[in-house]
Structure 1
Amino acid sequence: MSRLGLLRKLRQEISLDLRFSRPLILLQSDDWGRVGVRDAEGREDLQAAGIHLGERPYDLYSLETSEDVHELTGMLQSLRDSVGEPPSLEMNFLVANVDFQASAAAGFRDIVLKPLVKGLPGRWTRPGLLEAYRDGIRAGVLVPAMHGTTHFCQQAVAHALTSGGEREELLRTLWKAETPYIHWRMPWVGYEYWDPEKDATERFISEKEQKHWIEWAAASYRELFVENAVSVCAPGYRAASSTHRLWKEQGIRIAQNGPGKLRAPHWDEHGLLHTYRSMDFEPAVNVELRWEECVKDAARWFGRGLPLIVSVHSINFHSTLAPFRQKTLPVLREFLSALHKSFPDLLYVNSRQLLEIVETGSYQSENGRVAVTTKGKPGVRP
């Protein structure tokens, strides 16, 4: 076989769809650790400055509290799958927030960051939050993963902070109230590796910048959780092939991708296992969400041997400015319970366990190893 033929064969094997013999359910959740509107006082500060909040749910995005995390942990612990295991929520963390006071002291020439492991910036306070995360992780129902550093594109925001005009004024008003941004009001802040103000072919930041921030995030994650990140989801799902390669260099094994297509997990040319979310389950954001319809949709995925990967962002578990958590937990419980009733042999897994299934044909649970047959070529990796 020619060299070109070998390369084509390898690419086909790498991208071969992976399918599974059991209904697998994964819960993936973005934006943990990212601050928004601080509290009632922060909301009043913004409204006094002319920013009237409440038009959309993300106006009331704040930050989870220790109570929010404990309530979520308790709900997950109350459920069991066909082998007696609870669901585990994969929490994608932003590992830093803007240090608003230090950035202002620098005249906004630099965006100064405060790593989450060192606490929250300025007047932000969430007693017991880091320990609540760790309690849920020890209980086996919360699983940390990496999201990134800031979520917004620092290149885009740095430009706006020093360019004059309405954008600079809006950013400085928000930062004075210790709110980094409200994305729907200012989509020009972009996503960590992606600047929407650039030409279409230049929107991803340079590979050098990506490398710097991916290394920074990986080191901060390691300090926060005392382990290397295994799974990652790019902010806004914006990642290029260069991003994937740089993730792999940091020991990342799994790349989470957003919803939109009925697509199976597969390997890429860098050796990352790619997963694709099946649905947005966002009771805080979508007033028309009906869990009954979500159960029907799940049958499409399971019928094709695909895992059901449920996307439920952290806002759904907040309670500081709106009772999002109180709305979400009962609905999520009903949804998961109905899935178990409809698919009695279902298994709750996270992406680390999915990787283990793909590589070994089984995964470790609290009650022993659980076998799952994988169709495809689970051992083929570049």
Structure 2
Amino acid sequence: MVPILQMQTTWLAPGWHPGLSHKGLVLSDIVAAVLSQDLDVHDPITSDKAGLSFVRRAFLPRAIGLGTGFLCVAVVLWERQSPIWLWALLVAFSYGWPLLAYWMALRSRSPYVIERRQVLFDSLMGGFWIASIGFNVLPTVMMLSMLAMNNTAAGGVRFVLRGMAMQALGMVVSVLLLGFSFTPQISQQILYACLPMLVIHPLTIGLVLYRLAIQLGQHKRTLSELSRTDSLTGLFNRRYWSEQASLVFDDCRARGQAASLALIDVDHFKSSNDRYGHIAGDEVLREVGRCIQRNLRLTDIAGRYGGDEFCVLLPDTESGEALAVLERLREEITSLAFSQAEGLSVSLSIGIAGFHTGLEDAQAWLKRADEALYRAKELGRNRVVAAAG
């Protein structure tokens, strides 16, 4: 990039002399220093997926911003009777650069890093055009605002400062090529030419941010789901289920409502797992989890407590009614067939404890259900036992 600028200055800059090549070399060193201060390519945010998403988000604001910004600059260049090479550069930058930047970032091994550097190049060229139009007030303010928004979105306050440094470098390059001029006056033509950018670019930024907010909301919901779900069975995990048990317990104590808690154990799971293998064992747990979901009501809360143990909360349910619900579950489990373990028959031992005001907390409630489960195993397994009282 910089050698091309140096080549142009040898025949375009008024009053050119060889000493300017030294200034060009200094500028190239500064540009390289600013561009080299980028993110660690091993940072999770710079991963291919995150980088490509960033590149795609940046394309539309860049394309529309430069496309409408072309009018702002073109009117001033027309009034200043600027040279043809400057017009050619403006057209190439406004309509060719967005496509080229998008293509280069997509082909890069580090799209996030490359896109950030291209945002800095946008700032460099923004400074170049600001000085090239003689710092005309309205286009200058609009370009600086657009660049500030883009730089803030790309990397926050520190990145804005780096963008400002690149803008200053761009201004220096323009002054070296074209000489310094200051014409802040705004004609009616300039005002009209700036209106499309003034209206369309903020709408574009708003659209991009809206889409990003939708995506973030979806990701947040997905992460929330993953944080409370057991990946193998699809039921709630132990942590989330325990939180719900405490909430149900507190609600029962405060309102005097009935509720039941059940602990479920897959009979002889360890020996079946040893005999048929872990893949078959996982299939058993998945199918038991699905069967639990099919047989429970919408208000019931089922989870995997750990290993081959499951847990169920049945709000507004007396232990007798809960026993009938879980008896149906136990009967259906015995009819399950497994593709990874032909001939395997599975049964459940289930312990139920109803809520009563004498319980100290949810852990005491859980302990009563565990005692009932232990009693079911003592009686020969494959049965449902409710705690006394």
Q: Larger % of strand: which?
A: 1
Task: Choose between structure 1 and 2 for higher RCO, CA contacts under 8 A separated by at least 6 residues.
Answer: 1
The answer to whether TM tops 0.5 is no
TM-score, normalised to structure 1, is: 0.25
Larger Rg: 2
TM-score, normalised to structure 2, is: 0.25
Q: Larger % of helix: which?
A: 2
